[in-house]
Homo-oligomer: A and B are copies of this chain.
Amino acid sequence: MIGALEAGGTKMVCAIFSDQGALVDRVSYPTETPIEVMPKIIAYFKQYPELKAIGVGSFGPIGVNPELESFGYITTTPKLAWQHYNLYGTLKEALPLPIAWTTDVNAAAYGELRQGAAQDVKNCLYLTVGTGIGGGVVVNEKVVEGYAHPEAGHMLLMRNEQDDYEGFCPYHKNCAESLAAGPAIEGRWGKKAIELTDNPEVWELEAEYLAQALYNYYVTLSSERFILGGGVMKQSQLFPLIRAKFAELNNGYLELPELESFIVPPQLGDNAGITGCYELAKDLIEANV
């Protein structure tokens, strides 16, 4: 059996998979403080002494570079109780098993690559557009980490000349998160995204920013699939608009995949993250055999 933990900013999803990959059990706990929720998570996994490994996909930023002291920690999150908390180390101490460790969005990207919307390709990017924008990247069937992990939501963008919304990211006025995450929509138009469904100008501008970010990922990665999820992407009218803007930005330059099957919603829904955690843990077991 293999364990999976999707450590999210609002809930902690724990799951157990069989060796054949079947989801055997799944629970979730609110993300209170570490001292409240970590014992529940540890007790949950301890119920399964036959566990061979655990895969963890965590909200971030997190330390993923084994050569830095920050490895295993949730680092500069605005969630104060979790700042500089050693999530990996705490789990490893309580559960002495191989533990795969990456970001929640890298795990979701990998889950979609192995079992979801990108299972026929080797390179994909998963973008979640909600209260923030996060991106997970898979290249050659491996999640991308380098000095740190991708922070694709902070891609710097050209601002639309008519747009005078100042942006809400405290670090970058013009990054994708600052201009196109849920709070940017609300800040610019004065209403929540969900109340703006019928205002085409909202979605035209949103699509312009998201397409620009995708175009920049594409020239860097040549991804075979872009998977867009998160609360804002429930506005499914965005998909055709983003595809059209993407083609417009390309302006005939690069050979592109057929857009309809290139920029797509997730297939695994709420299970993308834990599925990716399971797959990463399985890889870890296989690599150690």
Interface residues of A in 236-259 (CB under 8 A from B): 249-257
The residue from B171, B222, B256 contacting A149, defined by CB atoms under 8 A apart: B222
Determine if A271 is an interface residue (Cβ-Cβ < 8 Å): no
Query: Is the CB–CB distance between A219 and B144 below 8 Å?
Result: no
Determine if A139 is an interface residue (Cβ-Cβ < 8 Å): yes
Pick from A49-57, A191-199, A210-218 the stretch touching chain B: A210-218
Q: How far is the CA of A63 from the CA of B254 in the complex (A)?
A: 11
Query: Is the CB–CB distance between B222 and A156 below 8 Å?
Result: no
Determine if A61 is an interface residue (Cβ-Cβ < 8 Å): yes
What sequence of 0s and 1s flags, for each residue 195-228 of chain A, a beta carbon within 8 Å of any chain B beta carbon? 0000000000000000010011101111110000
Q: How far is the CA of A149 from the CA of B61 in the complex (A)?
A: 29
Q: How many identical subunits does the complex contain? A: 2
Contacts of A153 in B (CB 8 A): 219
Secondary structure class of chain A's binding surface, majority of residues: loop
A184 to chain B, nearest CB (A): 16
Query: Is the CB–CB distance between B155 and A219 below 8 Å?
Result: yes
Query: Is the CB–CB distance between A255 and B171 below 8 Å?
Result: no
Query: Is the CB–CB distance between B221 and A156 below 8 Å?
Result: no
Determine if A122 is an interface residue (Cβ-Cβ < 8 Å): yes
Determine if A172 is an interface residue (Cβ-Cβ < 8 Å): yes
Query: Is the CB–CB distance between A137 and B174 below 8 Å?
Result: no
Q: How far is the CA of A118 from the CA of B135 in the complex (A)?
A: 25
The residue from B140, B156, B255 contacting A70, defined by CB atoms under 8 A apart: B255
Which residue of chain B has its CB nearest to the CB of A63?
B255
Known: A122-B146, A251-B172. A154 touches B219 (CB 8 A): yes
Determine if A145 is an interface residue (Cβ-Cβ < 8 Å): yes
Which residue of chain B has its CB nearest to the CB of A250?
B171
Contacts of A139 in B (CB 8 A): 139-140, 142, 144, 146
